[in-house]
Every structure is written in structure tokens, then in C-alpha cells.
Structure 1
Amino acid sequence: MTIPEHHSMTNNEKSPPALIGKLISALKPIFSMAIGVPILVVLWASFSGLVQNVNFEDIVASVFRTPPYDVVAAACFTLLSFVCLSIYDFSALWHLRLRIPSADVFRTSFCAYAVGNFVGYGPLSGGAIRYHHYRRLGLKPADIGNIIAYITLAFGLGVAAVMAVGLVSNPADIAGSINVSPQALTMIGGGLLIGLAAVFTLSASGRSVPLWRGRSMALPRPRIMLVQFAATVADVASAAAALWVLLPHMDIGFPAFVAVFSVAIALGIASHVPAGLGAFEAVIVAVLGGTSPMGDVISALLLYRLIYYGLPFLLAAGLIGTAEFRRGRMAKRASWLARVGLRLSPNVLSALTFAMGVALIVSGVTPASIARLDLLAKYLPLSIVESAHFLESVLGLGLIVIARGLAHRLDGAWWAASASVGAAIVLSLLKAIALSESAILLLLLAALIASRRQFSRPASLMHQPLSTSWLVAIATVLMSAIVVLFLVYSDVDYQNGLWWDFEFTDEAPRSLRALLGLLIGAGALAGWTLLRPAKGKACYPSKAEIDEAIAIVASQPYPDANLVRMGDKMVLFSNDRRAFIMFSRHGLSWVALFDPVGPRDASASLIWQFVEMAQRAGGRAVFYQVQPQNLSLYADAGLRAYKIGEAAHIDLKSFDLGGAKRASLRHAVNRAQRDGLSFFLLEPDEVADEIHSLREISDSWLAAQKSREKSFSLGAFDADYVCAQPVAIIKRDGKIIAFATILRTSLKNQVTIDLMRSMSDAPSGTMEYLIVSLILHLKGKGYLSFDIGMAPLSGLSNSPAAPFWHRIARVVYERGERFYHFIGLRTFKAKFQPQWQPRYLAVSNGTSPPLALADITALISGGFKGMVRK
């Protein structure tokens, strides 16, 4: 058999849907950059021009001049806003007719919005919190996905409604601030209102709206939608009021300010920057900068970020940590540190790490206390202070990169974060005795240590490419640092000699050098992202790679993995080359056959690697015939499992032909022996001598069945493949009349059967005799288990309370006998009194199981044409 190293595109891959999907996937990052980067650049350019004459000391002084009652009022409006936000969750549950205790809904909503607002990417970060909490409250993953989709859609429509009303009712107040004609703003607002009216009409008609990847959602009833719009108005107005009370006196009225606030939120989302950082501020400054003192506006924005984003996030982190701590205490055998470790969600720790990275960068470009620098001058040489200042700024950039790895639960990210935070604690003391900064870093380090077990993916941090959103986020932080630097040192005349000034009191040169280090580090990171070697390229394996996979199979207990010998599937190896996944593609489905092959400690990382590779290609990850003991690995990777059948396993130690249950097998053996049949097992070195006879039987069987060779989850008659493993044969009068290929590994614990073929004139019961004889032979050789294969769609519940998938599959199992012998196959395997073990299909969340199974069937049958043939 010749195994090609590279294959051209298959017909399936050339189909219009597949090509369109790949094109959209390839262009998605470009679209994101094309929209987000120009918005970011324009907003920051205008922001920089507006604040160039603002003094840093004035901003700090304005923060401390803010009346305490204004801060309290802002906190109260923040609380009111989060109460209004919880109505999104309540209305989603109402719409989907799900019941959860109100206290649990509010707590989940608060934590999800607090984390989502702080981190950004609300559907992902806040969605992870909702999945975590609602799953424990008994909701199904599909229901949770619908809740997240509903909330995302409702929030977008609500913000659009508030912005539209503001643009239509107060166009003149806004137009003068952003140099756009009132007529244009009125047209934009009117267009939005028309679109929203159309959505409301669809809601009244009971229609659905398309979402993504073929999914759709039924719009809520008009009554629910009206409640949702009212909640959105109250939410946006409360959030705007939290900023309004902190701002100085302005000429613009509150209704117009709410509209400006909505526009700022929308542009912040469009910029793809976490929490809209920078984009939101740029809009507010652009609108209000001409009517109020700029320093007071900026100080109000800083306080608003702390109150509306920072305080809820810290409270949510405390709530999540407390809940997980209480849950951990219930595990009696867990140590105190391990109990605390179920603790903070990795998403929360990722956000904290990101925030501390930003804080270190900002700290690096702002001046330290003169008194503390004077104290350091008495005990430390200048070189240590300069080095600490420079290195801590670079560590800040590193923490931002590491934060993404923490969100993906990488153990490499945990080690990098722990080491970086530990080093930053020391450096923060050496650079300026920053006690508050070092205290927060110490708390972050303690949280990381307590959560060690949550980061279980043994993958390289640098193996994970940074997405467009993260690159934009890093660019935003650096642009912010540049603006802050020139804002703080606006009274310092730039000279080339500043780079070489080294004095304890010379803060501007020190900050310039720190900024240079950040830019060099960011440039190196961008270069690595662009020039790094491609990982996970999907191509068919070379002969050397198949041999490497076979060596892994030999040391594993699952002989089915020998199907990798066929060479008709692509292979993805783990980073350490100790495990692999074999897979094929059809349409948008990337289908992995079986669980990862190799040590279990390499499986979790490999599953994530495969899922991410499929997602980057615009496809959906599917795992076919996975075993129940591995379902938790797929759940951690965001996949959902569906039972698709049961595999028949025979315990060889307890197998015998005695008893009434196996009377039919005894009769088959006796009858076969009377007919002159005899059993033999050919070892691989003996198979080659009989390969022509075996091929003759195979061709005869295919012709009699009016079928053709299958692939993917089944072997095909290929000389090299058949000769690689033992073959069980049945002879009559010295001539082979039936055979079955055997799959095994070097471990003598399990054997499975693959191809089973016979001559058309073979006596009835020949295959029963072959299997029984093979079982007895393997039992004599000391093997433990024999796998007869899976009975598709068997063992699914027919209870009225069973999941929808079970009921649909059950109907196919009972009514689809004319297309596939579901019941007949189960009946044949049941003759051997096996132990039935469930097998599952694990698919990306939102993927339809029937659609995935259709693609799998096409892979097995050699395309959709093969599906309509035998």
C-alpha cells in the first residue's frame, strides 16, 4: 500500500458550503482588525489631541476632590444597574420556561456580568460563569447555551433601542460634539427604530431569527420583549447615571448623555477591546471635553471604571471563591489548600492577571513617590532600582499574554504566571516600595497557588497563538501607556539625552526606557505570532508518522486504534508525541475516531488542541465512539456528549459454552464440525501466504452484498493492512471459506474483530463458529476481553422523560431496519451474552448530532453517494 504524504482537496472540501465556510473563517480576523483597529486609532488619536494640555497632577487632585456622596451615589446606581441586568437572566428563563430559585439567578447574573464587564467578550467570559453555575443548578448544556444566546441578543437589541431613541430625540445636543449633522443622526436613529419595529413584528408572529452555524432562536413573546426593553432602558440609564454623578457640570442634558453613553458602549464593543477600554473613554472625552474641564472629566472616568467595573468584579471574585470554598469543604479527604483550590474560576484568575499586567504597565510609565525614592537611595544602588522598574514593566506585558493561557487552563500558563507574579512582588518593592501593588500581587499569587489543580492542560503557553482580539487588546494597552506617559510628563521637553539620564529623581527617562522595553517586547511578540511555524496542519500522515502512531498503539489497551494503519485518516500528535488523534473531515465536521490514543495525562491537552484546530479552520469538532470514562475531558473542552450505541464486550475468563443461555452457540459449533469446518488463526507472517485466497473471498462477499469497501471507522481489504495483524480463518476440505481480521496490541488484555467475510456457499452458522472458536482460542492464550463491536443506536431510553435525542434515535433504531440492520446487528451480537458498554458522540456546543452523524456516515460510506448504496 502506498501512503501519500499530501492529498489534494476532496470533492467534499471543494463543495460550495465548505469553501464558503473556509473563506469566512479565513477572513474573520481580517474583518475584526478592519473594524476594530480603525475605530481604535481614530478614537485614540482624537483622545490624545484633546488631553495633550491636561496635567497629571490635576487629574490626581480632581480624583481626591470628588465628594464622598458622589462616590456613594455612583455605587448605588451601579447596584441598580446590576439589578436591572439580572432581568436579562430572569426573562431568558421565563422565555425558555425554566425554573431556578431567584436568589441563585441574581447571584449567577451578578457574577457573570461583573466578570464579563471587566474582562470583555461577555458571551464567552460571562457565559462560562453562567455555564458553571447553572449546570450545578441542574440545567442542561443546551438550555444554558440558549440562555447565553438570548441574553446576548437581548442586550444588543436593548442598547440599539436606547441609542436610537436618544439620537432621534436629542440629535442637536450630540451632533455638535462629534461634528456630525443632526439630520444624519436622526436618520441613523430612525433606521434603528425601524429595524427594531421589524424585530417586534417578528416576535408577535412567533418567528425565529437566525444566529450562527445554522442555529436559530425563537423570539420571545411581545410581553417578554417589552419587559426586556424596559429593563434595558433602566440598566443603561442607571449605568449612565453612575458616571453622570461623578462628572462636573455640563451643558448637555441627561437624556442626551444617555444616548452618548450608548454610542460609547457600542463603539467599545466594536473595537474588540476588553471592556471597551480606551474606546469608551475617547467617545466621552470627545463629547464632553469642550463643555467641562478635561482633567475633571478624565478623573470621573477613572473613578467610574473603579466603581462600575472594579468593585463588582472584586465582589464577584469573592462570591465565586466563597462558594467554591464551601463546596471544597464538603470533600472530606481534601486538604485545606485543595479545598480552596476549587476556588476562583480560571476565567476570574485570568481577568485578575490581565488587570495586574495593565497595572504594572501603567505603573511603569507614571512617577513614584519622591519620599520612597529617597528612602531607596539610602539602601540600594541606582542600577537595581532602574533594572527593577524596567523589568517589572516588561513583566506586565508578559502577564497580559499569560492571562489568555490561564483562561484556557494551561499548566504552562500557571507556572509562568506564578513565577512572573512572584518576581513582580519583589520588583515592585525594589523599584518604589509599592506596598499596595505588592500586596495585590501577593493575593493573586495565593489565589494561583490555591487553584493549581484547575490548570491541568499540559500544553505549551507559546503553542497557543494569540487571537485577533488579544492582539488588539495588547495594542490598546500599549497605546494607553503612551498616552498616559505623555500626559504625565507633558511639561518635560523631549531631548535625545533623556534616554541616558540615570538619577533617582529623574522619572521621565526611567518611564521612557520602560515604554521602549514594552514596545520591543510587543514587537517580538507580534513577530513570533506572524512567523511562528504553523501547528496542526491537516494533511495525511507519512509512512514514518504512521509507524510512530503504531508504536503508540502497541503500548495501549485499545486495539481498535490499529485502524490508523489504513492511512485513510489524518493524524494529530500531542506536543510531546506520546499520544495522537486520528480524524477525517467532511463538510464542516472534523471527526476524530475514538478517544485520543496514548496516556490519559496527554489526552486533555490533545482534545483541546483538536477542538481549537477545528475552530480555527471554521469547522466543528466531533469525536466518534468515545468511552464513558473520558466524558469529563470533553465537557471541560466545551463539548456535549450524546449516546449513540453500545459496544459488546465478552469477558474471556468467564466465557464457556455451558448453560442454557449459550445452547445456540453449542449447536452452531457442533453443526459446523459435522459440516467439516475447522478453525485456524494465522499470525501476521503466515497471512501473506494466503492473501490471494482471502482477497478472493472478500471480492465474492462484496459482490454478493452488492456493496463496496467502507472506510474511516472500518478497515478495508488492503493487502498491507490485512497482513499486519492476525487473521482467523475457517477451512472446509482444506480451502478457506471465511475469515476475520483481528486487531490487538502488545498488551494481552483486549482483542477486537474488524473485517468479517465469507464465501456465498459457506454453511449457515459459519461466522458464529468462527467467533466462538476465536473466543476460546484467545481465552487459552490468556487474553482478558473480546470486543465484537458496536451496535449503533441500541441501549437508548424510550422513557417519555428521556432526552429528545434519545427519543429521535430510538425511532430511527426501531423504524430504520430497511436502511440499516440495527436490530439484526444487536440480536447477532447478543447471542454471545456480552457486557454492553455505552459509546458516545461528543460534539461542539451548538452542533446538531444528526448533522454530525450524517457527516460521519458519509465518511464511512465514501461520500453521500455511498450513503444511498450498501
Structure 2
Amino acid sequence: MEPPHISRWTRVRALLPFLVAGGLFLLGVTALYHLLAPVDLADVQAQIRATRWSTLAIAVGATLCGYLALAGYDWSALRYIGRPLPLPVVLTGGLMAYAFGNTMGLSALSGGAVRWRIYSGLGLDAYQVAKVSTFAAVSFGLAATVVGLAALAAHPDALAAVLPFSTGIVRAGALLGILIMTLPLIFAAWRRSVLRLGRLSVRAPSPPVLAAQVLFSLADITFSALTLYLLLPPTGVGFFTFLAIFAAATMAGIISHVPGGIGVFETVVIAALPAGTPVESVAAALLLYRIIYFILPFTLALLVLALYEAMKLGGHLSRLRPGGLVAAAEPALRAVEPLAPLVLAVMIVGSGLWMTFSALIPRHSGAADALEELFPLAFLEGSALLTSALGAALVVLALGVARRSEGAFLLALAAIGVGIGVALVQGPDLSRAIALAGAALLLLPFRRSFNRRTRLTHAAMTPPWMALVAGAVAAFGFVLFFAHRSTPYAHELWWQFAVDADAPRALRAGLVASLAVGVWTLWLLLRAPRLRPAPPTAEDLARAAALVAASEDPDLGFALTGDKTLIFSDEGDAMLMFGVQGRSWIALGAPSGPPEARADLAFTFVDSARRAGARPVFYEVGEQDLPLMLELGLGLFKLGEEAVVDLTTFTLDGPARKKLRAAHARALRDGLTLEILAPPHSADLIAALREVSDQWLSGKKVREKGFSVGRFDPDWLGRWPVAVVRHEGRIVAFANLMVTGSGQNASLDLMRHSGAAPAGVMEFLFTELMLQLAARGVRRFSLGMAPLAGLEPRKSRRLWDRFGAALFRHGGDFYNFTGLRAFKAKFGPQWRPRYLAAPGATTPLLPLADAALLVAGGARGVIAR
């Protein structure tokens, strides 16, 4: 089971989206660098300091109004899907989603993740949360486009600097675009019909919901544009003309897929403004806009979450006054709380970038000159070097913080603490020291969330992490060269300190040695783990058997089949089993064990698979595992439903079980009996069972399977009780039972019958077995999966759900999906959804094909009938 060979093109294709986004980011940064060629950084700093407080206050007010409008998107969306929630919950959830999602970038994804955490905790299912996210994303896209086109129709010369068309053509095109986008929507809303755009079909909102959403959308675009417009210098451009520029820049940033549209948005705005506009003033306005519209809401939302966490630690939540604002918003705060590590990681990245930028930007003050006279150059430049190193370390540690690593959390706090000390000495830079102290205070209430005692981070070489590092390096280079364009490359630059003959040799040596040790230590801590797929050893199976005996999940027993690689947590209290097929590493179910150990194993598995060039896949995971799968960055696809019978209430009495009762009575009259035989099993019994098994395999024209099912093997059968059905004293059917150590839960594995078995033998086996298990005190009995059952394409509109539902209905020639579900439904089970978790968000056909080959033991097993 060696890792498969992965072609170079396959690796490149996996990296392609990140390479494209990185390339667009670099192009935007390059264009922005050239547009800012006449700008001096000192002038930009002076412009920011000269901005009036009244202007800043009005801009903050416009931002608040814009975010309230954004929360209105969720208010409309919840009414659109028929699940309205209390207004405080909607406001809290919506504001949190947009405050975090906008700043983290890729808001359609990250904001959707925030909504999933919030609304799934408030009773919405995955389909409904997806509808809310889609409604908000489509509403924003339509609003930005329509408002931009309307402003462009009124002022067709707004984008004359970037569009090579006459004003008449621009106005006509804008009006035509508005009609094309709005008329079908208005008509569909009036008729309450469904809009179809190719394969996509969307039910139009009702006229009241549509009217409310139009108002929210107009307010959103207007107030966000107003925030930037207030900060710009006098340009001679009216607000409605600027609205077209703003909408075009926003859509360009979204289309580029660059997080936050950084570089792309600024480039379009600067290029579209009149030629005589002072560029340094525009640059200062854009920087302030980023701070006010993105960083300020993010910080406030994080502060609210930190205060909520502090209230929990202090036990104040139990004393909340019913009907109060905090009590009303508490469900949303409780639901978003699990996102704290990810949000804190973003804050730490921002702190690290800021520390590094502050070391790269030259100081322009009398205090800086005085420091150069009071302290040696080595001291000052060494502190700048230390600041930049600490900032880079925070960027690296952020991934460990997102993974809830205790070590990463403590080291990040230590790095921020050292950064505060350096800021107080170097300058002193009180504003930076206060900001870093605030970041540390925001971290402290979440101490309990960081309890994973693993390496600082995993997946250090995954595409998203590499894209983040590459973007940070590009930003460092941009700031460095932009800030030092007029600086001669001589002894004033920090790296000259390393060879400066006047600098103390010991200090140089100590500084270089410290950096070398720090880099080496981080490299050791950040190494991704290695796993080599291999069959389990006897020791592995013994460890697994102990965990199986202590578990309440009978299907964990499949770890003992011997055909899967087993990995264990460091403490030995958690386990994960997986197999390799093609380009997929496929785990059977989620890891077992305590929550934190399960999460560590899952991250180790995913990181190791990606390091080997394979796709990590989790096969047949339950609803309780979905948050972990999302945290791993995997897409979720419903595979079907597991039928679980509550034996404490199972009975043949009552009119609903009339047919089942009659069939059971008829089987008893025909002489069928069932007996549960405990291991060890005699050689004669194994021989009789093998005869039945061989007849079943021959009659069905199938081969033995594996991975997610057992196979006829004396060692495997010898681990479990076996239920045998006899007819006139001869065994005609059997099934092996997987029972937990407590005896509370059980499931079936192999179920086979001979050609001589009477009709209805399997129905009798199920019925009589459940009656006997219930008498023995077993509480829950799993009948296994009904593949592709329960898919709802009308709710999700996903290609996989449509394909799976069609196969479930019409795939009888391939597999009797509907018949299998109908058979299991006779016993009145509870249906529990089961999912496939895999990279990507479109279709899981390739991972499913690999899983089918793994279960069947190869292509011949799939083809054989």
C-alpha cells in the first residue's frame, strides 16, 4: 500500500487556482506600484494625520449603516426560505458574518462558514444555510452591478479613463444591462415563478421580500461607497459618478478572487479618478477606508466575542436578565464561538504583517533622530530586525492558532509580548505597543479553546498556506521598495549592520545565532507529519481491539479486518483507519476517541495525504462529524442514510406491523429458527457457514469485498457472535454481529443465505434477530446504509444531489437502491444521514470511484455481478 505516483501535471493542477489568484495579486500590486510612483510615503502619513476627526466620525457612521444593511441581507434571506429568526439573533449573526467574512477575504466562502456555525446551531440544516449564503451573495452581486450600471448610465464618463468606448455606447450598454438583469427578476417575483439560468434554477422571492432586499442592497452599496467618498480629497467627481467607479472597482476585486480585492480595487479607483487628483491623498483615503470599513468592524466583532467569552469564564451568563439585549443575542454568540481560533489567527496574521511593515517603514520624526544620537546604530537596527522577525513568526504561527494548538497560542502571546517591549524601546512607539497589548488582551479570554498538544501546526506546505506566505512576501517587498525608493543603498540599511566593522562583533554573532536557532526551531516544529500506508501489525490490531471494546460504535470493529492502515493518537485513546486507492487516501468514518484527539488525528491524516500528493477523503461520516470536516476545509456530499432501529421500542404488535408480524409467524410455521452463537466457533460451524457463503457468492455472481465490509474469513468471524438460521436442522442463512463492549449497540456485517433457503428468510433473520437482541438488553441496532437515500436536489440544487437522486430512482439495473431502502423501512428505523467529505465543492465522482474500487478490491470486483 505505497502512496501512488502522482504526475507533475496533477500537482500543478491542484495548485492552479492559488497560482492564478497569486498572479492576479502580483499584477495588481505591480500596477499599484507604478500608479503610486510619484507618491512619497511620508506624504501619505501626513495626509492620514491631517484627516479631520469629524470626517472620520462620519465615515465610521456610514460604515455602521452599511453593515446594518448587510445584516438585512440575512433578514431577507431567512424570510425567503421560510425560517425567520428573532431580530437580535439575525443582527448579531449577520454582523458577525460580514465583519469576519469581509476582513478574512473570500467573503462568499468565509462568511458562509460563519453563517453555517451560527445558523446550524439555531436549527437550520445545511441546505437552508447554503440558501441564506447564496441569497446574500447573489443579492450583493446583483446590487453592485445594477447600482454601478445605473450610475454609469447617469454619468457615462465616470470610467472614461479605463473604458475605450464613447459615452453614448457606455450609456446604452448600461441601460441594456439593467433591463436584462432586473426585468426577469421582477416578472418572476410577481408571478412567483422559478428563474432558470442554464442548469441553475432559483425560486424568485416574493414581492415584499424583493422590495426589502432592493432597499437593503441600495443602502449597502451607497453607504460603503460613501465611506470612501468622504475620505477622498476634492476631485470634482460627484457622488453618483463615483458610485459607478466604486461599483466597478468592487466587482473587479471580486472577479479577481484576490482576498479582499487588495491591489485590484485600489488600482481601479486610482486609475478611474481624474488625472489631476493628488495621488498621495487618494492613497491615504484608500488606506483609511480599509481600516474603517474592514479592520474596525472586525476588531469590534472580535471584542464582542472576547467579552462574551470573558462573561462565560466569570459565570455572568447565568445572571443575564431575560429580555435583555445580551440575553437575546446570546444564541448567536454561542453559535459563532467555535470560530474564535480562526478569527484570532486572522488577527495574529494582521499583527504580524503590521509589525513587519513597521520595521520596513522609515521613521520620520524628531524622536527618531534623537534615538540615533542616544543609542548605537547596532541597537536600533537590531531592534528593527527583531521586530520584522517577530512579525514573520506571527504570520507562521497563525496557522497553528487556527488549529487550536496550545504551543502556537503561547508562542504567539510571547511574540506579541516581546513586540510590545521592542516598541516601547524603539521610538518609543506607544501606538504600536498599545495595539499589540490590545491584541494580547483579546487572546487571553480564549485560553481554554487552545488545548491541542501537538506540533505548532500542520499542513505547512499546503497551497493556501503557501499562497498566504507568498502574498505576505510580496507585500513586504512592495512596502520595502515603496518606502525606500529615495534611500541610497548604503550603511543606513539594516542588513549592512551584519558586516559593519564598527558594530560589536559579539552583538552581531548573538543576533545571527538567535535568528538561526529560532528559524531552525520553527522549521522543526512546523514540519508536516509523515504517514506511510501499511498493513496493521499484530500490535496495531491489539491496540485497536482495546479501543473497539471501549467504544459505543459497533462499526469501529471494521478496524480489525486487517486491510486498512491504522493510526493512533499519541495518548493511544483515539484511532483512524484508512485505505489507499488511486489518488485517494480514504478514511472509513471519522476518527474515534475524545474530541481533541479526534481532531488531531484528522488533521494529521489530511496533512499527510496532501504531503504525499493525494486527496484526503472521509467515507461515511455522520452529522456529529460535520463541524470537524468543515474545519479541515473539505466539501460535504450526502451518500445516503443509515437505518438504526431503537430496540427498546421495537415490537411486532400494532396495525403498522401487521405484514411483518404475519411474515414472521409464517416463517416460524415453516420451521425456521434463529440462534445467536458466541465465539469461539467450531471448525464444523465455519465449514457449514462457508458452504452457505460460497452458494451466495456464486448465485449473486459477486466477489468478496472489503474496506467498509467484512469478508468470509475464519479469523474475522471468530471475533463476533454469529446469528444462524436453520431450516429442518440445516443452516440456510447467517449473519455476523458486531456488538460493542457494553452490549448496548449492535450492527450487521455479512448477511448470506443458501440457494435452498425458503423465501423470506432474510426478513425472518432481521425480525427474529432484533427480538432476541432486545431481550438481551441491546438498545440500538444498525441495519446499515441505504445508499443515495434522502438526497434533496430541490433544496440544494447541487449537481451531485441531482445525479445521486436520479440514480436512486432509476438505477435499478445497476443496484436496487429503492428496494433496499423499502426493505429496511419495514422495521421502522431512524434514518441518519451519512456523508462523504472530500476536497472540492462540485462533484465527488473521483473520490467515490476510488472508494468503490477500494471496497470491491479492484475493477474486477466492481464489474462482477
Give TM-score scaled by structure 1 length.
Answer: 0.72
- Any conservation in 1 of the 2:569–2:601 contact (CA below 8 Å)? yes
d(CA) in 1 for partners of 2:557 and 2:713?
14
Other-structure match for 1:181:
164
1:494 pairs, out of 489, 493, 501, with 489
Other-structure match for 1:646:
644
Other-structure match for 2:834:
841
Other-structure match for 1:560:
555
d(CA) in 2 for partners of 1:469 and 1:522?
24
Q: For structure 1, which runs of at least 5 residues remain unmatched after alignment?
A: 10-18, 507-515, 652-662, 798-802, 831-835
| Equivalent AA in structure 1 for residue 19 of structure 2 | M
| Equivalent AA in structure 2 for residue 27 of structure 1 | R
**Is 1:277 aligned with 2:262?**
yes
d(CA) in 1 for partners of 2:845 and 2:41?
61
d(CA) in 1 for partners of 2:717 and 2:820?
26
Change (3 A) 1:144 1:725: closer
| Equivalent AA in structure 1 for residue 420 of structure 2 | I
Secondary structure of the structure 1 residue equivalent to 2:448 = helix
d(CA) in 1 for partners of 2:174 and 2:520?
43
Secondary structure of the structure 2 residue equivalent to 1:716 = coil
Change (3 A) 1:817 1:353: closer
Q: Per-residue deviation at 1:126?
A: 2.5
Secondary structure of the structure 1 residue equivalent to 2:276 = coil
Secondary structure of the structure 2 residue equivalent to 1:358 = helix
- Any conservation in 2 of the 1:268–1:276 contact (CA below 8 Å)? yes
Secondary structure of the structure 2 residue equivalent to 1:99 = coil
Within-5 A mapping of 1:189-588:
197-200=179-182, 202-203=184-185, 204-205=187-188, 206-208=193-195, 217-220=202-205, 228-229=213-214, 231-288=216-273, 290-323=275-308, 329=315, 345-368=340-363, 383=378, 385-455=380-450, 460-465=455-460, 468=463, 471-495=466-490, 498=493, 499-501=495-497, 541-544=533-536, 548=540, 551-556=543-548, 557-558=550-551, 560-566=555-561, 579-582=574-577
d(CA) in 1 for partners of 2:845 and 2:3?
30
1:96 pairs, out of 81, 105, 124, with 81
Change (3 A) 1:790 1:172: same
Other-structure match for 1:118:
103
d(CA) in 1 for partners of 2:456 and 2:246?
38
Change (3 A) 1:788 1:372: same
Change (3 A) 1:115 1:697: closer
d(CA) in 2 for partners of 1:225 and 1:275?
27
- Any conservation in 2 of the 1:248–1:296 contact (CA below 8 Å)? yes
Q: Per-residue deviation at 1:247?
A: 1.9
d(CA) in 2 for partners of 1:680 and 1:63?
82
Change (3 A) 1:545 1:122: farther
Q: Per-residue deviation at 1:550?
A: 5.8
- Any conservation in 2 of the 1:564–1:582 contact (CA below 8 Å)? yes
Secondary structure of the structure 2 residue equivalent to 1:395 = helix
- Any conservation in 1 of the 2:3–2:580 contact (CA below 8 Å)? no
Change (3 A) 1:445 1:747: same
d(CA) in 2 for partners of 1:647 and 1:29?
45
d(CA) in 2 for partners of 1:679 and 1:86?
60
d(CA) in 1 for partners of 2:759 and 2:112?
58
Q: Per-residue deviation at 1:181?
A: 2.0
d(CA) in 1 for partners of 2:376 and 2:18?
47
Change (3 A) 1:744 1:484: same
Change (3 A) 1:555 1:490: closer
d(CA) in 2 for partners of 1:333 and 1:385?
52
String of CA shifts for 1:464-483, please: whole Å, max 9, x gaps.
Answer: 24665554454444444334
d(CA) in 2 for partners of 1:306 and 1:678?
73
Q: Per-residue deviation at 1:187?
A: 6.5
d(CA) in 1 for partners of 2:341 and 2:440?
13
Change (3 A) 1:426 1:698: same
String of CA shifts for 1:279-324, please: whole Å, max 9, x gaps.
Answer: 3233333344831223222222232223222332333233334455
Other-structure match for 2:130:
145
* More displaced stretch, 403-412 vs 274-283: 403-412
| Equivalent AA in structure 2 for residue 282 of structure 1 | T
d(CA) in 1 for partners of 2:213 and 2:221?
12
- Any conservation in 1 of the 2:62–2:223 contact (CA below 8 Å)? yes
| Equivalent AA in structure 2 for residue 245 of structure 1 | L
Change (3 A) 1:195 1:609: farther
Other-structure match for 1:790:
783
Change (3 A) 1:210 1:416: farther
| Equivalent AA in structure 2 for residue 33 of structure 1 | L
Other-structure match for 1:80:
65
d(CA) in 1 for partners of 2:274 and 2:523?
38
d(CA) in 1 for partners of 2:725 and 2:835?
38
Give % identity: 29
Secondary structure of the structure 1 residue equivalent to 2:160 = helix
Within-5 A mapping of 1:146-161:
146-161=131-146
d(CA) in 2 for partners of 1:259 and 1:525?
51
Other-structure match for 1:13:
none
String of CA shifts for 1:96-155, please: whole Å, max 9, x gaps.
Answer: 233233444334333322222222221233333333444455444432221111111221
Secondary structure of the structure 2 residue equivalent to 1:543 = coil
d(CA) in 1 for partners of 2:669 and 2:558?
34
Equivalenced residues, count:
800
| Equivalent AA in structure 2 for residue 306 of structure 1 | I
Change (3 A) 1:312 1:734: closer
- Any conservation in 2 of the 1:362–1:484 contact (CA below 8 Å)? yes
Within-5 A mapping of 1:662-741:
683=680, 687=683, 692-703=687-698, 709=704, 711-718=706-713, 721-722=716-717, 741=736
Within-5 A mapping of 1:795-810:
none
d(CA) in 1 for partners of 2:743 and 2:419?
53
Q: Per-residue deviation at 1:603?
A: 1.3
| Equivalent AA in structure 1 for residue 479 of structure 2 | V
Q: How large is the Cα RMSD of the aligned pairs? A: 6.1
- Any conservation in 2 of the 1:615–1:621 contact (CA below 8 Å)? no
Change (3 A) 1:197 1:400: farther
- Any conservation in 1 of the 2:309–2:445 contact (CA below 8 Å)? no
Change (3 A) 1:709 1:527: same
Q: Per-residue deviation at 1:362?
A: 1.4
- Any conservation in 2 of the 1:583–1:590 contact (CA below 8 Å)? yes
Secondary structure of the structure 2 residue equivalent to 1:581 = strand
d(CA) in 2 for partners of 1:734 and 1:87?
72
Change (3 A) 1:282 1:478: farther
Q: Per-residue deviation at 1:243?
A: 2.0
* More displaced stretch, 61-70 vs 588-597: 588-597
| Equivalent AA in structure 2 for residue 310 of structure 1 | I
d(CA) in 1 for partners of 2:256 and 2:365?
38
d(CA) in 1 for partners of 2:236 and 2:254?
27
Change (3 A) 1:56 1:820: closer
1:27 pairs, out of 1, 4, 13, with 13
Q: Per-residue deviation at 1:451?
A: 0.8
| Equivalent AA in structure 2 for residue 420 of structure 1 | A
- Any conservation in 1 of the 2:39–2:280 contact (CA below 8 Å)? yes
